Amino acid sequence: DTEWNDILRKHGILPQQVKITQNDIYDSAVEHAREEESKRLENMDLDELDELEDEEDDQVIQQYRQQRMAEIQAQVDKEKFGELVQISEPDYKSEVTLASRDNWIVVHLFRDSIPECKLMNKHLALLAQQYRSTKFAKIISVECIHNYPDANLPTLLVYGKGDMRGQLVRLDKFGGMRTKKKDIEEYLKDIGAVDPSLRRSLPGDGDAESEDDDDGANRGVYFDLGKNL
């Protein structure tokens, strides 16, 4: 640097020169190394963290291990369902209406004598295993809504945040008995009733799913149920 530049700085024409010391260089290098180590630890699972902990007794590793365990426990607490359960009329308020304040609830109004209801129960039983943070339930239709017509079965009622968020009446929209599990899954995804990030795979899942679509059958049926429940 020159004496002239010093004069210009003294009069505010040039900015003051910033002196970088050896300590500054060292601190920058240490911070960069910490950031790289942090990125590496974030991608490790518990077993890998345990192996690393055997080699290095580092407080940072302990913190990441505790954080990862907390994340796993939070997921376990959230995924507390996992099966299609049958409920009765006296249970409806507690098992569905009130419970939906904290969880998504999918309720199937059915009759065993109707083939489409059996198909729906089959699909929901599998979806319940895949989306364990969502509660899947079924109830005989006339127990839920007295004199509910069989012509409207199967019927899905979807609850969330303490209120009904969606309803599906009959399977005409998906081709009746040609309805696939994937169709019901996509319907629930669109509503927000299932979380794709928490989806569990099942053995052979997707092998039996056909990709054929029936565009001519895509006609929805809507029946106002809100005032009855």
Per-residue pLDDT of the chain (229 residues; tens, 9 = 90+): 566 666 666 656 656 555 555 565 556 666 666 676 666 667 667 677 666 655 555 666 666 667 666 655 556 556 689 999 999 999 999 999 999 999 999 999 999 999 999 999 999 999 999 999 999 999 999 999 999 999 999 999 999 999 999 999 999 999 999 999 999 999 999 999 999 998 998 887 654 444 444 443 343 444 445 545 5
d(C-alpha 53, C-alpha 219), whole Å: 59
d(C-alpha 166, C-alpha 136), whole Å: 14
d(C-alpha 1, C-alpha 4), whole Å: 9
Taking CA atoms, 120 is separated from 49, 54, 94, 171, in Å, by: 43, 51, 24, 9
pLDDT of residue 216: 38
Contact 198/228 with Cβ under 8 angstroms?
no
pLDDT of residue 120: 98
The DSSP letter of residue 19 is P
pTM of the model: 0.62
The DSSP letter of residue 178 is G
